[in-house]
Copies of this chain bind each other. A is one copy, B any other.
């Protein structure tokens, strides 16, 4: 279904995007439509890589801005087709993040002469394992396509600016013991009992609150899983707790792991998953100008998002998009029409004045 980017409004376009299913790894039809619509615009140069599209102005401006959004959604959950009621657009991906994609597409179509050069990125497979992420693929294989002074990731942020993001690391901590029949437990050593000091550490741990560029990040250290036991009459010889550390972006992944080793001194840790945080970078001119222009309150991003992909490339980035992120991935996912209008208006003003 061809996308009309010029004779439409942002609500209608969001609804059309919601009604074009694009679950992760099934984005091709939507990517085809987006490619056709962008290619029809004379002021943009379009590059396609898999189901990711990069569209650039090339006006020789002093600064270049990257505006990015992912095309894919989580699986349908009884929330199609889209439905507009009482100023709220409901439906799969309306919040995460076809509302933001609609805003970006309208900016791409209607602002032929922006005051900063713009690179629009519409990418695939954000909602699944990191190895498939289209933005990550471009960052690894064609980082030149993402070059810029500032990036805006249009993930839902309640139409406010969320800067930076926290890192995340998961580790497994194992305790060992010695099996024995539970009727003669003194013959063995109980690996679950050996977890007592670990849970004590977790229960009494005081997470840092760190102010960076005026934003307060709140770390967190949590057991997200625990498992142990052989059978109902056996003293168990192994137990494992999975711990998730969410760390402020002033720590690198190495720093985070060193901290965990100090906290759990004497216990062996195995990292099973890790992603770096991203500093807010609000002191950079492009970022500061953006925040001032959109006039939105700035908050820290606690969860991990693709802004970290830009940080790795040395590009300051923020989240700024319509929709309440708490409704992402929910059956009642939705986006307020007011968010769509306000984000589009603010970005239009910033890009044209």
Contacts and interface: CB of A to CB of B under 8 A. Distances in A.
Contact of A225 (B170, B236, B303): B236
Interface residues of A, number: 46
Contacts of A227: 226-229
B236 A244 contact: no
Contact of A196 (B202, B225, B230): B202
B246 A222 contact: no
Contacts of A190: 202-203, 222-223
Contact of A236 (B181, B223, B228, B239): B223
Contacts of A234: 224
A200 interface: yes
Contacts of A200: 196, 200
B244 A224 contact: no
Nearest to A195: B199
B220 A236 contact: no
B202 A222 contact: no
B244 A226 contact: no
A193 B198 CA distance: 9
Contact of A218 (B186, B195, B228, B231): B186
A134 to B, nearest CB: 22
A166 B227 CA distance: 28
A89 interface: no
Contacts of A302: 183-184
A281 to B, nearest CB: 20
Given A193-B199, A304-B183, A233 B226 contact: no
Nearest to A239: B226
A308 to B, nearest CB: 13
Most buried by B among A186, A192, A273: A192
Interface in A62-117: none
Contacts of A168: 182-183, 233
Nearest to A186: B218
Contacts of A224: 182, 192, 229-236
Contacts of A196: 196, 199-200, 202-203
A14 interface: no
Given A196-B200, A225-B236, A232-B242, 5 more contacts: A182-B246, A184-B220, A192-B241, A224-B233, A224-B236
